[in-house]
Amino acid sequence: MLLNLSNHPSNSWSSEQLAAAGDKVIDMPFPLVDPEGDEAYITKLSTEYYNKILDINGVTTVHLMGEMNFTFALVSKLKAKGIKCVASTTKRDTVEENGVKISKFQFVRFREY
């Protein structure tokens, strides 16, 4: 089972991304990470989410995308426990319309941390 810990719920994923994710995906919203928080704050928050993930039966892979310090701390904990962690990769197509840049992202693959 893949746990999606990101700001992009799986019900908004493309059919390609859902197929790459496998049989079962569950979503966990990415936390709001306080930009004023120090390293101790990141350690505490990542430990809280680590414990939440361990409480879910059947998680074999975590798709983790978001604030970099939190992501690094949580990926480190999960990998040490033997849980596979992946990031999603995309192609970005940017067009400019009336002076406004519009970016569209197309899923390519999951890449292991």
pLDDT (tens, 9 = 90+) of the chain, 113 residues, equals 999 999 999 999 999 999 999 989 999 999 999 999 999 999 999 999 999 999 999 999 999 999 999 999 999 999 999 999 999 999 988 888 888 988 888 999 999 99
Between CA 28 and CA 4 the distance in angstroms is 6
E-only strand ranges, the chain: 2-6, 25-29, 61-64, 84-97, 100-112
Predicted model pTM = 0.89
Report the domain count for the chain. 1
Q: What is the pLDDT of residue 99?
A: 87
Pairing mode of beta strands 100-112, 84-97:
antiparallel
Q: Which range marks the domain in which residue 57 is found?
A: 2-112
Cα(105)–Cα(88) distance, integer angstroms: 11
Longest dimension (CA), the chain: 50
